[in-house]
């Protein structure tokens, strides 16, 4: 469960200070939660709060009872995060090395690491690319690699910040299909509203505030009205 309580976040100080989230409170226990909003509405900052990449200026964020402010390391073991651009996450030369990178310092044997890496590469259709240079994959394959590299660590929750923005429709649907099969709680920030079909709940942000919280159809309708 993720609990956000009276969170406000401000970037900068003095005359340049900018409030990007204002007094947001929400508890998320559902399997799949979507987040939508205009550019600059605060949704990406909200997503980064959920695994401690950003610490709130005011208020608290708890993940399974752990405070992101004081227990960030434990939180990040529970909450995997995928960025919009997978190149921001690919850090090792080959596909299998990149997936294995997240398992360092986990106390696993070499055989356990090999087994986990092989399983997740097979699951995401990347097994035949195990020894390929990671940065030479297609855009869709890179995003699948980023997702595989997060999921190999077996987090309880996964937060994705617009993971399909740079993809064509076919690869966007491929990523969405994989997300739909995950057992973990999924929190998805997206501009691709069709990806929210079948979600349990959608949050709508506008001008730093959470302005709507409800089923996908209602939330998307509210979002469209706010954009009009």
What gap in Å lies between CA 34 and CA 126, rounded to an integer?
27
- In the chain the domains, ranked by start, together with CATH numbers, are 2-227 (3.40.50.300)
The pTM of the full predicted model, rounded to 2 decimals, is 0.90
User: pLDDT tens-digit profile of 61-73?
Assistant: 999 999 999 999 9
Exposure letters 147-182 (e unless 16+ CB within 10 A, then b): bbbbbbbebebbbbbbbbebbeeebbbbbbebbeee
Q: What would you measure as the largest C-alpha separation in the chain, in angstroms?
A: 55
The per-residue pLDDT for 14 is: 80
What gap in Å lies between CA 83 and CA 219, rounded to an integer?
23
What gap in Å lies between CA 148 and CA 89, rounded to an integer?
11
Computed on alpha carbons and rounded to an integer, the radius of gyration of the chain in Å comes to 18
Length of the chain: 228
Burial zone of 73 (CB within 10 Å; 0-12 exposed, 13-18 middle, 19+ buried): exposed
Token pair listed for 78: 């529970």
Angle at 29 between CA 101 and CA 206, to 5 degrees: 90
Q: Are 162 and 143 in contact (CB under 8 A)?
A: no
Q: How many helices (H) and strands (E) are present in the chain, helices listed first?
A: 7, 10
Region 102-115: what's the mean pLDDT? 86
User: pLDDT tens-digit profile of 131-144?
Assistant: 999 989 988 889 88
SS3 33: strand
Quickly state the pLDDT bin for 7 (edges 50, 70, 90).
Answer: very high
The per-residue pLDDT for 33 is: 97
Q: Are 126 and 148 in contact (CB under 8 A)?
A: yes
């Amino acid at each position: 469960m993720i609990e956000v309580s009276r969170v406000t976040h401000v970037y900068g100080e003095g005359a340049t200070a900018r409030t990007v989230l204002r007094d947001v409170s929400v508890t998320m226990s559902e399997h799949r939660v979507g987040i939508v909003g205009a550019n600059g509405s605060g949704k990406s900052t909200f997503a980064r709060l959920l695994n401690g990449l950003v610490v709130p200026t005011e208020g608290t964020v708890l993940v399974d009872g752990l405070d992101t402010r004081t227990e960030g390391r434990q939180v990040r073991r529970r909450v995997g995060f995928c960025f919009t651009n997978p190149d921001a996450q690919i850090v090792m030369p080959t596909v299998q090395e990149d997936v294995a990178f997240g398992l360092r310092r986990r106390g696993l044997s070499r055989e356990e690491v090999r087994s986990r890496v092989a399983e997740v590469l097979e699951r995401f259709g990347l097994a035949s690319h195990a020894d390929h240079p990671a940065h030479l994959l297609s855009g869709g394959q890179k995003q699948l690699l980023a997702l595989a590299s997060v999921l190999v660590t077996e987090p309880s929750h996964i937060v994705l910040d617009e993971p399909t923005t740079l993809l064509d429709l076919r690869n966007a649907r491929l990523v969405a299909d994989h997300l739909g099969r995950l057992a973990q709680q999924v929190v998805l920030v997206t501009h691709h509203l069709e990806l929210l079909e079948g979600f349990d709940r959608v949050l709508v942000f506008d001008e730093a505030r959470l302005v709507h919280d409800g089923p996908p159809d209602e939330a998307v309708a509210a979002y469209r009205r706010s954009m009009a």
